[in-house]
Amino acid sequence: MVSETRLVGEFFRLVQISSPSKRERHVADYLKAKLTGMGLKVEEDEAGFEIGGDTGNLIARFPGNGGPAIVFCAHMDTVQPGEGIIPVLQDGIITSQGATVLGGDDKAGISAILEAIQVIKEQNLAHPEIVIVFTVAEEGGLRGAQAVDVDSFGAEFAFCLDAGGPVGSVVNRGPAQNQLRASIYGRAAHAGICPEEGVSAIQIAAEAIMRTKLGRVDSETTANIGLISGGKATNIIPDCVELEGEARSLTDAKLAAQTEHMIETLQQVARKRGGRAEVSVQAVYPAINLAEDAPVIALTIKAAQAIGVEPQVIRTGGGSDANVLNGRGLPTANLGIGMEKVHSTDEFIRVADLINLTRLLLAIVKLA
Ligand code: ZN
Ligand code: CA
């Protein structure tokens, strides 16, 4: 059976090993030793070199009794403030002491995977090959997952353990994201002596932003301008403003339309006011679009029912490694792991959710 003591002990150990994005070395070394000690073959890929971090993704293989492999994926990095975390357990709830996040995002996922493997070994449970993927640099760009060699897994589907929501919830739809950077150019002039010779890049930006559809654009699409900087002094008509923003949509055509709308609006307003706008777009990750009866979702629902938690198929507005894996052609469900208030110092998780998450993984393994 799932050992609550071992599971919580492992979670406590993991969150106390600092692992900000691109500096996952210590936790990766710990996990390598742990997995090797459990008899698994562990490899570290080249992601660290590729993204300028000190650690690659860990890929561990637990050979099974036949059938296609299944993948369990969680990320090793945590958001800031996430160094020197002191976990506290009280009344079945784990929080962080003081001014850091807890790091349950995503070390709760890692802990549950490790505990599930231990239980399978102890009880000699039949299982397909299990490929464990612990990624780096998920936060702020899914960079580690983008370097993963998905084809090498030999799997038909995968599970990421990295969604909010209760255990039993599973994400089948999530938006693709584009990021935009714009440089708006006007013309500098003395603001008191000859303002009519100037073109204010700040006025261009202001009008363009007001004319752009932002926030919740429609039921599937969101957009935001999140950063703005520019100008030199109050007596100079500003000749340059930099903007950074994003658009997300569950539907590719809507994402393309919203992105185009943002570019067009900036450029039209800039032209009209006698300036110009240079806009670059980067596709950050693709959408998740799994049918409710897709095998990986159907299996999750069955597993939730088997352990007596309510299955819930949900959509999200966020991104995760599951977006990348789905985009590479590996159907990947993102499982709700019970973590709450993530990316804040109020982050917490219930011990009951850690246990149920492990039981869910065991049910998935049994049904796969
Ligand atoms: Zn996460
Ligand atoms: Ca996160």
Would you say 304 and 360 are in contact if contact means Cβ atoms under 8 Å apart?
Answer: yes
CATH number for the domain running over 4-174+287-367: 3.40.630.10
What pLDDT is attached to residue 98?
81
What's the pLDDT tens digit per position in 90-113? 999 999 998 999 999 999 999 999
Q: Other C-beta atoms within 10 Å of 358: how many?
A: 26
User: From residue 206, how far is each of 185, 188, 194, 237 by CA, in Å?
Assistant: 13, 17, 22, 14
The verdict on whether 44 is a catalytic residue reads no
**What predicted TM-score, i.e. pTM, was given to this entire model?**
0.93
For residue 349, report the distance from its CA to the centre of ligand 2, in Å.
14
Strands 155-163 and 69-75: parallel
Candidates 45, 138, 220, 321; catalytic one: 138
Tell me, in angstroms, the distance from the centre of ligand 1 to residue 202's CA: 36
Query: Inter-axis angle of helices 351-367 and 295-307, to 10 degrees?
Result: 120
Q: What local confidence, expressed as pLDDT, does residue 157 receive? A: 95
Helix (H) or strand (E) run with residue 88 in it: strand 87-90
pLDDT band at 65 (very low <50, low <70, confident <90, very high): confident
As a whole number, the mean pLDDT across the chain is: 97
pLDDT value of residue 296: 98
**Ligand 2 mean position, distance from CA 180 (Å):** 21
Note the pLDDT of residue 145: 97
169 and 297 in contact (C-beta within 8 Å)?
A: no
Q: Of the residues 77, 129, 246, 347, which is catalytic?
A: 77
Residues within 5 Å of ion ligand 2 by Cβ? 105
Residues whose beta carbons lie less than 5 angstroms from ion ligand 1: 105-106, 162
H-helix or E-strand containing 360?
A: helix 351-367
Answer yes or no: is pLDDT of 49 > 90. yes
**How far is ligand 2, taken at its centre, from the CA of residue 322, in Å?**
12
Per-residue pLDDT at 140 exceeds 90: no
Average pLDDT over residues 66-94: 96
Domain extents for the chain?
4-174+287-367, 176-282
In DSSP terms, 310 is beta-bridged to: none
- Specify the fold of 176-282: Alpha-Beta Plaits (3.30.70)
The stretch 265-269 carries a mean pLDDT of 98
Average pLDDT over every residue of 127-150: 96
**304, pLDDT greater than 90:** yes
Q: Is 139 a catalytic residue?
A: no
Task: Give pLDDT, residue 234.
Answer: 98
Name the pairing type of β-strands 240-249 and 221-230. Answer: antiparallel
Q: How far is the CA of 139 from the centre of ligand 1 (A)?
A: 7
Q: How far is the CA of 51 from the centre of ligand 1 (A)?
A: 18
Element housing 332 (H / E): strand 332-336
